[in-house]
Each structure stands twice: as structure tokens, then as C-alpha cells.
Amino acid sequence: MARHGDEAHHGTNLGKAMNHVNHEDARELNDDLSMLARHESWMVQYGRVYKDATEKAQRFEIFKDNARFIESFNAGGRKFWLNINQFADLSNDEFKATKTNKGFIPNKVKVPTGFRYENMSLEALPATVDWRTKGAVTPVKDQGQCGCCWAFSAVAATEGIVKISTGTLISLSEQELVDCDVHGEDQGCEGGLMDDAFKFIIKNGGLTKESSYPYSAADGKCKSGSSSAATIKSYEDVPTNDEGALMKAVASQPVSVAVDGGDMTFQFYSGGVMTGSCARELNDDLSMVARHESWMVQYGRVYKDAAEKAQRFEIFKANARFIESFNAEGRKFWLNINQFADLSNDEFKATKTNKGFISNKGKVSTRFRYENMSLDALPTTVDWRTKGAVTPVKDQGQCGCCWAFSAVAATEGIVKISTGTLISLSEQELVDCDVHGEDQGCEGGLMDDAFKFIIKNGGLTKESSYPYSAADGKCKSRSSSAATIKSYEDVPTNDEGALMKAVASQPVSVAVDGGDMTFQFYSGGVMTGSCGTDLDHGIAAIGYGTTSDGTKYWLLKNSWGTTWGENGFLRMEKDIADKKGMCGLAMEPSYPTA
């Protein structure tokens, strides 16, 4: 059995853990040592040098968050994928500050133009168009740290129509627009409009070649004597919100378009056809500030000063974006903002899961009393809540003692089954008194060792007599026992069939890999997809079933309060190809006997 509980901070524990790291990508991304190596390699690849150790540490945290977001996104089997790129050490806000227009200004006095392609038939258009194959697209350019995408867009469309009309492809100067088109909305690296760029090109008599007026990625002084290499006569707007009209235009020439490019999926897009939602609300700081304020009220969160509030807001914002992106793909389960929304994933793991995984090398196999049960004879659905064998969901708070809650839940279940009475037992007694061996209160522990303590101690007292305090305390050794167990048994490892036999007979303690962000913000549905198996969290299996679409699931009781998950409960996919089970839940199950 392994030690489970919330984030033991001992260096030796982490060192031992490294021998048991699961090599699935999701777990690797949660491994700081691996991530440090990836960051160093990335710095070399992109020539990134930081001014000091403080900046490097700050950038590493951003890099790590971005890498986790990318890995989680790609695990969903979408039609497009993300990857680490040159923006990997930029927060999404920093990315938007230089790569998209932070201030979007609608043109209130816009005058409708003609649309020359209006009468074209959609049916007559070619099925595929690629202006690159027709020599009307120059090589991809790089705007760098200057927010002048408007200039690159307008120049690309201009280069295209010049090639179509003259037969010559000329790379034109974006820098001329940045330096010289500074009246009205167009303000160089501070943003602009493509229509205003077209107006400037017309008024200026064209643009010079890029080679004559090279790009510097910064606002500069206008070189007014530059000679024109190509010009345009006018410009037209495609009818708004009409993809058919846009198709007609693009079939005829390259077209400038504006998009919501501030999302993290845009920041790290790598390939495929981008699908799903593009949520501007999540890129709107004003909206996000309001959401954070509302969340603070809901969860009674108060920060010590403005600096802490600003730090927590950035984490909240990153988590909200992760959740929105995840939910956009229509999976079998979904995430939501909860009480952990202003915690980074590392902070979450520090109190909610075990950072140090310790394998019990001296583990002795136990008998398994349900071995000879027939799987075919088991009920198709089990829910021990309906049989009165599950107490209400509890909340371990900031104490890393999930192991105690898991063991107590299984004990409460078997006591109800054997005596007919459901008693809420004391986790705090385990936290305070079971402190020999692996069990170390808020620093983590093992469910099997908890069972051993209950047997040796002659049982546990009622929760009402020894209430939970979410902190290590002094053992009240004279507490009277309210219920006990005779022994405990381990379910055969990596065998969901054996686990099904056990859960059909009683609630069972299980260990899972609960450190992923999808676990942190789980809200409902059946958790499916990739998941690590680096066991770090103890919960209780209290049933199983099948959804209306045929997805088999395990029903589990967590200890993070009722605002997490399905009122504190969780469903995870059952009978998956990996014998270890979803998030490793079949690796180390055990149960008490009475």
C-alpha cells in the first residue's frame, strides 16, 4: 500500500517518489524536475536569457502553467492541437499585449462600401482555394513584440491583389505603415485598423518594398521620401456576419479579417482545424475582475493586501481560462470554478494530494474474501448511499489527511452493514493518534495503516465526540470507541473485476492520482480520458453503474466538501483498457472487515 494524504513536504519523500514517477505525459507535466529540464531546453531553442534568477523563476512558473494547459488540452482528442512555442514563458495577458489589439475600437461612423463579388454564385466557386499555390502570398513574417498585426494583415491583402492585377509578387513594407500611418485609429505598435491602413496606402500613393523600408518591430520616425513599389485604388468591406460573402471574396483574392486571437488556444495553436468556442468573455479583464470579486464573496475569501489579491487574481484568471477551454470540447465530464479557483495546481496539490509517493516494499498479501463471487451474478448498479451506508460528504480543509477520510468512510460503511447503524466516526482521532509509521496526520498516510490503528485502538469514537479541526493535534487517548473492525483485506491489484466484487459487497478505500487540474476543478459527469497513475489521494468507492449512453463508471466519495464535484461525489470511467484503472484506482484498493 502507498501513503496517501495531502502533499508531504519531505525531501526524502520526493526523492523516493522519483523512482515511481509515472511516465504518462500528464504526470510528467506535474514533475518539477522534468519541467525544469524542458524549460532549460526551451530557453536554448529560442535564445531566451533572463536578467536574474528572480525573473527566471517567474518565467518558469508561467512556462509550467502553459505546458500543463497545453497537455490537458491535447488530451481531449480535438481536431486541432497546441504545442510549446516562442510564447511559452508569456502569460496570456503578456501575449495579448504585444500580439493582439488590447483596445478594440468599433468604427461607429463606418460607411458601407460596395461589394463587387455580390452576384457571384456560391455553387460556382471552386471547392478549394489556396492563394499560396498561385504565387499571391509572400513568406510568413514576424511582427515580434510590436502590436501591429493590423499592418501585416493589410499588407498581406495588398500584396495579394497586386500580384493578381500585375502578375508580380512584391513584399511590401509594414514598417512604413507603422511609422507613417499614425493619424486616426492607426497608432503603430499600439494597434490599428486594416481599413484605415488601406486609406493610408491610397492617400500615400502606395507602399515601398520591404527591402527598402525594413521592419524594425518598433515605432519609428516616418521616412517620407520612400518611393512607392505598388498601390491600390480603393478598398471594400465584405458584408458583415456572412461567411458566404467572405467565401466569394476569398475565392477572388486574399482578404484582411479580424479575429479574437487572444485566447490561449490561439497563443499555442500548432496544427489542425481550429474548432469549438472562442470565448471573448474570458479574455476580458473587466469581466474577469467581476467574476473574481463575486467568487471572493461566495467563498468568503479575504486577502491580506492588494499585492496578494493581484497575485490570486492572475491565478484565478488562468484557471478560469483552462476550465472554459476544457469544457468547450463536449467531453463526458466537465469542470467548474470552485473553492480552489485561486490556487495554482502546485498549491492545490500541496494540501489536497501527496507530493511524496512512498511504496510499501514490505507489504504482505492478504486474503480476498470475495474472490469466488461470480461477476455475472453481481448487480448491474450499486450505490451504498441508497442503502444508508454512507455519511454526508465531509471536508478535510487544508490538512493533508485524505487517507483518514478514506479509511473512515470504508469503516463507516462496514459498520452500517454489520450492525445496521450508520455512525459518523472521527477522522481527527486518526490524525492526532495514528502517528506511528507512515501515517503522519496532515502530512499524509496510508489507509491500510489506518485500519491497523483502528483494530489496535479498539475502534474509533464518534465524530461528534472528537470533532475534526483540520490540523494536527494532541491525541485524546481516553476517547471511548463507538465502532470497530476486526481486520482488513487488500483487493487484488490492477483488477477492476475484483474491485467490482468488493464494492458490490461494501464501500472500499481506493487511492487515485488526484493531482491533475481536471481533478482540481471536476464538477460533474464521468471522468474519462488520460490520467496519471502516480497515486497521491485517498477516496472511497461507494458504488458503480452505467450512464444512458453506455459509459460504465465508479461512484466515489471525496473529502473536499459539497461544492466540489457532484455534491462532493465523483464518477470515473470503469473497466478501461489500462488494468490499473482510471487514475490508478484499481492499483491499491482495500477494505475493513467486521
Least confident of 341-350, 465-474, 547-556: 341-350
At residue 11, does pLDDT exceed 60? no
Band (2; pLDDT cuts 50, 70, 90): very low
Percentage of the chain beyond pLDDT 70 is 89
Catalytic position from the list 66, 92, 101, 558: 558
Name the residue with higher pLDDT: 360 or 583: 583
- Mind listing the pLDDT tens digit for each residue in 182-223? 877 778 888 888 999 999 999 999 999 999 999 999 999 999
pLDDT of residue 107: 52
Say which residue, 422 or 2, is predicted with more confidence.
Answer: 422
pTM exceeds 0.85, yes or no: no
Strand partners, 553: 545, 573
Neighbour count for residue 33 (Cβ, 10 Å) = 11
Active-site annotation holder among 148, 180, 399, 402: 402
The whole-angstrom separation of Cα 213 and Cα 216 is: 9
Nearest 5°: phi and psi at 444? Answer: 115, 170
Evaluate if residue 109 carries a pLDDT over 60.
no
Q: How many angstroms separate the CA atoms of 434 and 204, rounded?
A: 82
Average pLDDT, the chain: 88
- State whether residue 49 is helix, strand or coil: coil
User: Across 345-354, 407-416, 526-535, which has the greatest mean pLDDT?
Assistant: 407-416
Q: Is 402 a catalytic residue?
A: yes
Least reliable range by pLDDT among 231-235, 479-483, 549-553, 562-566: 479-483
CA atoms within 13 A on the CB side of 335: 24
10 catalytic per annotation? no
Decide: residue 203, CB within 10 A, 0-12 exposed, 13-18 middle, 19+ buried: exposed
At 30-58, the pLDDT tens digits run 466 788 999 999 999 999 999 999 999 99
Confidence band, pLDDT 50/70/90 cuts, at residue 282? very low
* Answer CATH for 122-252 from 3.90.70.10, 3.20.20.70, 2.40.30.10, 3.40.470.10: 3.90.70.10
From 4, 39, 292, 537, active-site residue: 537
Domain-by-domain residue ranges, the chain?
122-252
pLDDT tier at 15, thresholds 50, 70, 90: very low
Average pLDDT over residues 386-407: 95
